[in-house]
């Protein structure tokens, strides 16, 4: 493991974060943990996506693809080898995916679940033995308010996040026996690269048949969280890190534009919710 980490304080928590590409939530979380003097292992599929952190001694950088057993094992072993522990795991890596469920290629659905759901679980399974031995640790899964009201065009993504929310609830109960706290961080609309990444994947999908007339609405959905009012990434990260580092972190932490609206949507009668989603998403 490459180290620029001589400035790291050995008494501070070791935090491992997935998906730390510049401009995204993981990157901002890495910086916010470092501000709190944590020892941060920032990871991304490619180091070239984290160049801003490259020569900063507060970070250790690693390449990690959450879809790969080998990659996850290598990095977790390296972190435990270097520090002897992992105090906080943040499962942040994730992809948005847009397209009508009746026509979207199953390979796109599988890729979304492989990253958002199985990727997070793969990380959990790799770090839990280390945390359980010390009877100490925090696992943070980054969910989404989108899972609270599943509208048109992003069913793949919302289903993956709903699955992650369910896994998180179960993990909290199961891992509580071993002194491990599990936190569901549920962002609202936060500034990041998520729209651009979703469109890049979308552009590789085939033309729709029945759903061709909805092309503009579907593309729009990819950028829904990135409109004018989205919450600045740093603000989200600062507040989230403060919640995670509490001695008793909350089971559920939501922050950002639309987080209150979506919590209300969740409790609305289905007919009202459908009416609103249809109007907003041109569904």
Q: For CA atoms 224, 226, 232, 233, give the dihedral sign.
A: positive
Asked if residues 241 and 173 have their Cβ atoms less than 8 Å apart, the reply is: no
42 binds ligand NAP (CB under 6 A): no
User: For ligand NAP, what does the binding mask look like between residues 51 and 80, x meaning CB under 6 A?
Assistant: -------------xxxx-------------
* Range 140-199, binding ligand NAP (CB under 6 A): 142, 144, 187, 189-190, 192-194, 197
The first and second tokens of residue 127, run together, are 């770090």
C-alpha–C-alpha distance, residues 196 and 100, integer Å: 18
Interface size with ligand NAP, residues (CB under 6 A): 32
Q: What is the dihedral of CA 65, 187, 252, 270, to 10 degrees?
A: -110
Distance, CA of 109 to CA of 281 (rounded, Å): 20
Name the minimum Å distance from CB 21 to ligand NAP. 3
> Closest separation between CB of residue 135 and ligand NAP, Å?
28
Question: Of 83, 161, 191, 258, which is the active-site residue?
Answer: 161
Q: Torsions phi, psi of 70, nearest 5? A: -65, -45
Q: Whole-number minimum distance, CB 190 to ligand NAP, in Å?
A: 4
Q: 64 vs 127, which CB is nearer to ligand NAP?
A: 64
How far, in Å, are 77, 93, 95, 116, 141 from residue 150 at the CA level?
A: 38, 21, 16, 16, 19
Measured from the CB of residue 15, what is the shortest distance to ligand NAP in angstroms? Answer: 16
- Residue 36 is a catalytic residue: no
Asked about 223 being catalytic, the answer comes back as no
Residues labelled catalytic: 157, 161
Q: Which residues bind ligand NAP (CB under 6 A)?
A: 18-21, 23-26, 44-46, 49, 64-67, 92-95, 115, 119, 142, 144, 187, 189-190, 192-194, 197, 225
């Amino acid at each position: 493991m490459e180290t620029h980490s001589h400035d790291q304080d050995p008494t501070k928590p070791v935090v491992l974060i997935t998906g730390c590409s510049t401009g995204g939530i993981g990157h901002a979380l890495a910086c916010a943990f470092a501000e709190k003097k944590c020892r941060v292992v920032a990871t991304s599929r490619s180091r070239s996506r984290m160049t801003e952190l490259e020569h900063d001694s507060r970070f250790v950088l690693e390449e990690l693809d959450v879809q790969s057993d080998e990659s996850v094992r290598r990095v977790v072993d390296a972190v435990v080898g270097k520090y002897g522990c992992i105090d906080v795991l943040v499962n942040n890596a994730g992809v948005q995916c847009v397209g009508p469920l009746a026509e979207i290629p199953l390979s796109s659905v599988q890729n979304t679940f492989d990253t958002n759901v199985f990727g997070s679980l793969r990380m959990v399974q790799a770090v839990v033995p280390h945390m359980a031995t010390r009877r100490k640790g925090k696992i943070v899964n980054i969910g989404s308010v989108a899972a609270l009201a599943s509208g048109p065009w992003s069913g793949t993504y919302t289903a993956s996040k709903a699955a992650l929310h369910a896994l998180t609830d179960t993990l909290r109960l199961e891992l509580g026996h071993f002194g491990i706290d599990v936190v569901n961080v549920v962002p609202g609309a936060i500034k990041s690269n998520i729209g651009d990444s979703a469109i890049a994947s979308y552009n590789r999908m085939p033309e729709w048949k029945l759903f061709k007339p909805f092309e503009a609405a579907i593309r729009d959905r990819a950028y829904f969280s990135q409109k004018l009012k989205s919450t600045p990434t740093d603000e989200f990260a600062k507040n989230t890190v403060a919640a995670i580092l509490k001695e008793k972190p909350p089971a559920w932490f939501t922050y950002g534009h639309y987080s209150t609206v979506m919590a209300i949507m969740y409790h609305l009668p289905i007919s009202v919710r459908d009416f609103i989603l249809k109007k907003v998403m041109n569904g």
